[in-house]
Amino acid sequence: MAVTDLNKFLATFFSAKRCTIVENKDGVLTVQLTEEMDRALMNRPFYWHYIKKMGNQGDPMQLTLVTNPNKKEVKGEWIHFGSPRLQQIMNYLNQNEKYTKLFQSMNVESNTPLYPWLITNIKVSYKGKHKKDELISIGLHLVNGSMKVEMMKELSSVPLQQMIPDYCYTISPMIKLESGFKRIERVIDDYIERQTHDWAEESIHLLKKEMTLLQHFYSNDDEENSEQQMEKELKEIKNRYNPTITYQVINGGLFYLSPAL
């Protein structure tokens, strides 16, 4: 789900990163950072270098983040959608929280099997003269090969944990991760194949048009460098308009889920 409540987003983030919430009231959130988070967010490598050299523990900072626009007078950082701090945290997530291995929490007293799933969230970007993105969440059952889309929505009601629950055991995958990923890619390929791509056609049309103009521009030009210059400009036009589709896995991992799912 897209982030709408910035306060909740931040509070969840810092709690998950084991930072103590000092106060959270009326859209004003104060957290005590851990050393790890201080190093990740506060941009003071010299401090940490120095402190550690001296054999000291160091003193991680506190951060006050204000998401309530009516509380702007509170001393702290005003957080809105575009604020550098929020973007920094989102970048942090993007770089550091990409891989996972989770088990469905089960409250059972007899032996229960958990089945392996490869779950990936893939961003598909369509880039021609303009660009748009689509985020696709797909899960693949690594034993029977069945697939589910909108997997993240599916999982939102499933309790998950990092340790295998008591009395549970995991079934070994029949499909290897790598070939599983290929299957997922093929499904997306197929999905793209079935779309009409007006955007790409328009881009190619424009590409050709500008290339013709360019050739005309140089038609009477016999200066020495002009050929080189024209090559450069042709490349720029291609660069700008050539239709491309990119897959980028935002995150994914191995999930062990109960057969009920």
Residues 166-205 that bind another protein (CB under 8 A): 177-178, 181, 185, 189, 197, 199-201, 204
HEC letters along the chain: CCCCCHHHHHHHHHHHCCCEEEEEECCEEEEECCHHHHHHHCCCHHHHHHHHHCCCCCCCCEEEEECCHHHCCCCCEECCCCCHHHHHHHHHHHHHCCEEEEEECCCCCCCEEEEEEEEEEEEEEEECCCEEEEEEEEEEECCCCCEEECHHHHHCCCCEECCCCCCEEECCCCCCHHHHHHHHHHHHHHHHHCCCCHHHHHHHHHHHHHHHHHHHHCCCCCCCCHHHHHHHHHHHHHHHHCCEEEEEEEEEEEEEECCCC
Q: Looking at 217, 227, 231, 259, which residue binds another protein (CB under 8 A)?
A: 217
Which residue, 168, 162, 163, 152, is CA-closest to 106? 168
Least distance CB 133 / another protein (angstroms): 4
Please identify, using beta-carbon distances, which residue of 102 and 114 lies nearer to another protein: 102
Please identify, using beta-carbon distances, which residue of 15 and 59 lies nearer to another protein: 15
Dist CA 132 CA 53 (whole Å): 48
Number of residues that bind another protein (CB under 8 A): 90
210 in contact with another protein (CB under 8 A): yes
258 in contact with another protein (CB under 8 A): no
Please identify, using beta-carbon distances, which residue of 7 and 120 lies nearer to another protein: 120
Which residue, 161, 240, 159, is CA-closest to 203? 240
34 in contact with another protein (CB under 8 A): no
Q: Which residues contact 44 (CB under 8 A, 6 or more apart)?
A: 38
Among 22-30, 38-46, 48-56, 218-226, the segment contacting another protein (CB under 8 A): 218-226
Q: Which of residues 221-250 bind another protein (CB under 8 A)?
A: 221, 229, 232-233, 235-236, 239-250
Please identify, using beta-carbon distances, which residue of 59 and 170 lies nearer to another protein: 170
15 in contact with another protein (CB under 8 A): yes
43 in contact with another protein (CB under 8 A): no
Q: Which of residues 129-158 bind another protein (CB under 8 A)?
A: 129-135, 137, 152, 155-156
Q: Return the amino acid letter for 58.
A: G
Least distance CB 60 / another protein (angstroms): 19
Among 32-40, 49-57, 120-128, 141-149, the segment contacting another protein (CB under 8 A): 120-128
Please identify, using beta-carbon distances, which residue of 51 and 243 lies nearer to another protein: 243
Q: Which of residues 71-90 bind another protein (CB under 8 A)?
A: 80-84, 87, 89-90
Please identify, using beta-carbon distances, which residue of 59 and 94 lies nearer to another protein: 94
